[in-house]
Each structure stands twice: as C-alpha cells, then as structure tokens.
Chains A and B, each alone.
Chain A
Amino acid sequence: MIAYVFKRLTALILSLAVASLVIFLVVEVAPGDPASYMLGINAQPDTVAALRAELGLDVPKTQRYLNWVGGMLVGDFGTSYTYRSPVSEMVADRLWISLPLALMALALSTLIAIPAGVLAAARRGGVADAGVMSATQFGVAIPNFWFAMLLVALFAIKLRWFPSGGFPGWDDPAAALKSLTLPAIALALPQAAILTRVMRSSLIDILGEDFMRTARAKGLSRRQALWRHGLRNALIPVLTIIGLQFSFLLAGAIIIEQVFFLPGLGRLVFQSISQRDLIVVESVVMLLVFAVITVNFLVDLAYAIADPRLRRRA
C-alpha cells in the first residue's frame, strides 16, 4: 500500500509540475503587456518600465516561473495587477460562492440520480426504466446554460420565486441560498443524467451477482435484497463518479456563473482575461487544475483502500 501511495504521489506531483508549466507558457505567449495595458496608450516609457519592475515583469521568464511556483507552494499566489490585492484573498472571496454552488449542485444531482437509477434498475425493461433512460438522453443533450436561461424565464421572471441573477452576500443566508438555487439546478441537470446511468448499470450488474441470489434464497424479498445488499455494493462506482463530478462542477460553473452574474471564480477568470491580469488567470486556472488532479488522486486512493487488487495493477 505504501509503495502504491508513493507511486501515485510521484505521478501527482509530476502532473502538477507539467500543468503549471503548460499554464505559464500559454499565458506568457498571450499578446499584450500588462503594464502598458494598465497605463493606457499615452503612458511614458519610463512609467511603464517602473510599473513593469514593480509587478516583477522585468525579470527573465524562467525566474518568473520559479517565483510563481515557489510562491504558490507557500500559499502566496501573487498580487493582482489590476486590483493590487493578493490573488489568494480574491480567490478566497470568490470560493465562498463557487464552492457552495458546486456542493449544492452535487447534492441535487445525487438526490435525483440515486433514486432514479435504482428505480430504473429495479424495473429494468419496464415503463419506468424506459422513462428514466429517455430523460437521461435529454439530460446529457441539454446545454446547461440554455437550461439556466429557461429556468430564469420561468422561475425568476414569470413566477418571481427566485432572483434572476446576482449575489446578495452571505449576511443573509436565506437570500444567498435562494440566489444559488437556480444556478445549482442548471449545473446539476447533466451531471444527474450521467450519474443516473452509472447508478442504473452498476445496480444491474450487482443484481446479477450470486450473493443477490443467496439473499433471495435465505428469504429476503426482492425489495429487501435490493436495499440491503444490492444498493450498498452498487454505490461504490457511483461514489467514484460523484468524487470526479465535484471538481468538474467547480470548473464547469464558469459558464453558469456568467448566466446568473454570480461573482464566483468563473467571473474572476473572465474579468482577469479581459484586463490582462495574467497572474490572476494563471493562479485561478492552476487552482482548478490542482483541485481536479487532487480529487482524482483521492478517489484512486479510496478505491485502492477498498479494493486491494487495484494496488497491484498500478
């Protein structure tokens, strides 16, 4: 187990290193100098040079890359060119919107997918199964930002149950949750469709296992066997997908945040790109990649703990 963890950990660190290099290179070749962008076209050359020095843009690229990575290792993500405030603070502020949004979407998708998947698997081949499976076909085909627009039209503009966008802050938790509800529903829909399919096929596999027949043979009803033995075993792959979905919800919220004018991480990225605030772009993208890679690693690890056969294969 220790050897396995060590091997996976090395791969994790290597992935992060390559990822940081790729992000740095992509952002570095971007046309436009942040300093001259900030000062406008009438700036004096020496003013631009002074600002470049202040922002740390005058040192060679390799040195800048090392400074950036070294800073991140100790929690210093640099200082925003535009706002002159630490990137880590800006990110922390935005996380208070993006993280609860991702969690709400994840909870919703799980709450929809598990019952729907169980229903479809238990009634395999029946009307309920066909209904659930058609619904998932639509679920994966609907672009979530379009679904979000329809939700706004119906629940915000027509019925006025929810706000159509913006975020009131956490001082009023009820209002804050209300403004995250529609975005969470829009984000959850395609994820729920995928998760439902995983739940269904996983449970169908389990229902064909010998121990399910044994459970019936010892006198459990179909329903009892399904809930006591079937569901518990079928949940393992489902939990893996839930783990993977979390990081994608965090990253996938970018477009949904645009629909609802939510000042989350996604909007921060868009703003920073248009303001040539490269250090913010680099650090936020790196954080998202870090989240995805780390969650993948933890899921793999949890799997290896649960199933010793996987350790040998890696």
Chain B
Amino acid sequence: MNRNLIIGACLSSVVLIGALVSFMWTPFETDTVNIAARMRLPDGTNWLGTDHFGRDLLSMIMVGARTSLAVAVVAVGIGMGVGVPLGLAAAARQGSLLDEVISRLNDLIFAFPSLVIAILITAVFGAGAVNAIIAIGIFNIPVFARLSRGAALSLWQREFILAARTAGKTATRISVEHILPNIANLLIVQGTIQFSLGILAEAGLSYVGLGAQPPVPSWGRMLADAQTMVSLAPHVAIVPGMAIVLTVLGLNLLGDGLRDALDPKLRRRVA
C-alpha cells in the first residue's frame, strides 16, 4: 500500500462519512439562529466554533459536504455518462465522420474558458445547485471522451479484439464487453481528479452566489458570508476553507495513489 493512497482514502472517507452522518445527526441544528452564541471560538461545545448567526460550524460543514459531494458526483457522472460512450464510439469508427465530429467538438469545449461559461450558464438559467451541476458537468464530457477514445484506440489494435471480431461480435458489444473493462482503471483515476476539480468549481460558483442557494449550507457560501468578518472572527473563514482544501487534497492524493496502485497492472495488461 502506498502512502498517498492511505492518506487520500482516509481524508476522503472522513468527508463522505461526515456527509452521510449529517442526514441522521448533526451536533446542532443548522437552521436555527442563536445570536447570543455567535462567532464563538472552537471549544468543548462547538468543536469548530460558531458563525455570525451562532450556528455550529461543524454541523454546517457536515451538511455543506453533502452539497459539495452531490454536485461533484453528478457532474462527474454527466461527464462519464456522456463522454465515455462518445469516446468509445469515436474509437470504434476511427477516422469516420463521427470520429471527426466528436473530436472537433471536444477541442471546442476544451477551448472555452470553463469558469466563464459556467458563470454564464448559471447566471442566465438561474443560480442554483442543479444549474451548477450542469455547467460543471458539461466541461467534464470532453475530458472523458478524449481519455476513453485515446485509450480505446490502442486497444482496438490488439489481438483479443481481433478474436472478438472474428467471433462475430459487433463494435458496440466489443466496446462494452472488452474495451470498457480495460479502460476502467484510467476512468477511475481521472474520475477522482475531476471530482476534486468539481468541488473547487462548486465552491467558486457558490462563493459568487451562483451555486447552491440559501438555506442549503454550502462551503463556498459559508466563505462568502465569512468574508466581511475575516478580521473579527478568522476561524469562521478558516474552517470552511480548510474543509475544501482537505477534501480536494484527499481526492488528489487518492487519485495519485490509485494511479500508482493500478498502473503497473495496467501496463502489464496493455504492453
């Protein structure tokens, strides 16, 4: 076991468990205001302190983790769900018109400054978690389409694919039954990377008010709320920021660790 994998898996599971537990239990309610207890420093009662409404920050972070994870999961899901079939289809008919169109569209989406377009989409269609998911998800499509096309192209040259073709399997069946399992490792590693980018993007959109809307707690909006109080109560800004940093760091380490763990096997199989 490598160190990156262990640290990454630990950090990621802490966030995941926190988000899951928040459905059943949080230390305090996140929708009650208690002005008397506002901007408390971390202590025995409020482990991470309270914000300007007296809400418990740990509870807010736990509930906010749901938003971050949900947005990132669905955005990666959109990217994989649309991108991988497109990439596989392009690879199955290399050099065809379909391949050309898919590749050009990929290049085009890559060329767009993703943040600007995400802001445009959420601003035009209304701020909210769903539109944030769509905006982030669209930019995941070419990432997975390119990755799966490239990986599938080299596999199509292999003997076992030729064997499958001689056996009379259609291109679609070969893609699903033989290509997909062989590129799954790559997709998982890329998935964790896109997942962490999704969390950062969601935080940015929420920070400028275009992501999840009140009263749904979200890390990015907690930071926006904390901005005016950063000198009075620094912990209100530090806690959500650290939550983002540790989650993204955890996912990146998990991705690196998975790549190291899966790569030798992958190399043996492909080479």
Interface set of A (CB-CB < 8 Å, partner B) = 11, 14-15, 18-19, 23, 26-27, 29-30, 137-138, 140-143, 145-146, 149-150, 152-153, 157-158, 247-248, 250-252, 254-255, 258-259, 269-270, 273, 281, 285, 288-289, 292-293, 296
Q: How large, as a class, is the contact surface on chain B?
A: 35 or more
| Given contacts A150-B237, A153-B234, A292-B111, A26 and B121 within 8 Å (CB-CB) | yes
> CB within 8 A of A255: which of B204, B237, B238?
B204
Please report the number of residue pairs spanning A and B whose Cβ atoms sit closer than 8 angstroms.
117
Chain B hits for A150, CB < 8 A? 230, 237-238, 241
> CB within 8 A of B204: which of A18, A145, A153, A288?
A145
Contact B231 A15 (CB under 8 A): no
**Nearest chain B residue, comparing its CB with the CB of A29:** B124
Interface set of B (CB-CB < 8 Å, partner A) = 104, 107-108, 111-113, 115-117, 119-121, 123-125, 196, 200, 203-204, 207-208, 220, 223, 226-227, 230-231, 234, 237-238, 240-241, 244-246, 248-249, 252-253
Contact B249 A27 (CB under 8 A): no
A19 to B111, CA, bound (A): 9
Chain A hits for B125, CB < 8 A? 30
Contact A141 B245 (CB under 8 A): yes
Contact B230 A30 (CB under 8 A): no
Contact B196 A141 (CB under 8 A): yes
Secondary structure class of chain A's binding surface, majority of residues: helix
**Nearest chain A residue, comparing its CB with the CB of B114:** A251
| Given contacts A143-B241, A143-B244, A269 and B116 within 8 Å (CB-CB) | yes
In angstroms, how far is the closest chain B Cβ from the Cβ of A115?
23
Chain B hits for A145, CB < 8 A? 204, 207, 223
Contact A153 B237 (CB under 8 A): yes
Contact A251 B120 (CB under 8 A): no
> CB within 8 A of A153: which of B120, B123, B231?
B231
In angstroms, how far is the closest chain B Cβ from the Cβ of A231?
26
> CB within 8 A of B113: which of A11, A30, A152, A251?
A251
| Given contacts A138-B249, A142-B245, A149 and B115 within 8 Å (CB-CB) | no
> CB within 8 A of A140: which of B117, B123, B208, B252?
B252
